[in-house]
Amino acid sequence: METITTKPKKIHKIKVDKQLLEKAKTDTDTEKQVIVHCFLKSEFGMNIRIWKSTYLRDKDSSHKSNLLTSYNITEYPIWMSINGDEAEFTLVFSALPKSCNGFDLFEDIPQGGGFYTGLIPRNKSDVYSVEIYT
């Protein structure tokens, strides 16, 4: 049996520019989102909608995470009828600051009846299930 010897391959070290690395970290943090699955109990035959002025309000700072998109609910000015006495929808918001420990969901509208949750404790996944009160 013949033995074959080879030279070990030279390993090249790759240097990444520190500024580029920091920008990548910042971009990753910017892309984070907060997902809120909402459950609304209502009177039979109620109409609902969500306004783009809905946001998450950090309890310890003035930070507001803006509503990016919504699923299974119409946006102002279009109303959506609820079939039955419950509605489920999902809201996606921009990232909360790392320092945030709790927040509330607030629909800031120029009339009565906006959605509000009260304090929601922060978790690591930034995915939440909440009951909405009007």
Name residue 11's beta-bridge partners.
Answer: none
Average pLDDT value for residue range 10-30:
58
**Higher pLDDT, residue 132 or 54:** 54
Domain ranges in the chain are: 33-132
- Cα–Cα dist 56/85, whole Å: 26
Q: What is the pLDDT of residue 41?
A: 81
pTM of the model: 0.75
E-assigned strand segments in 13-126: 33-41, 47-48, 54-58, 64-71, 80-81, 86-94, 102-107, 120-121
Range from 12-16, 105-109, 130-134 carrying the lowest mean pLDDT: 12-16
pLDDT tens sequence across 44-89: 668 899 999 999 999 999 999 999 999 999 999 999 988 777 889 9
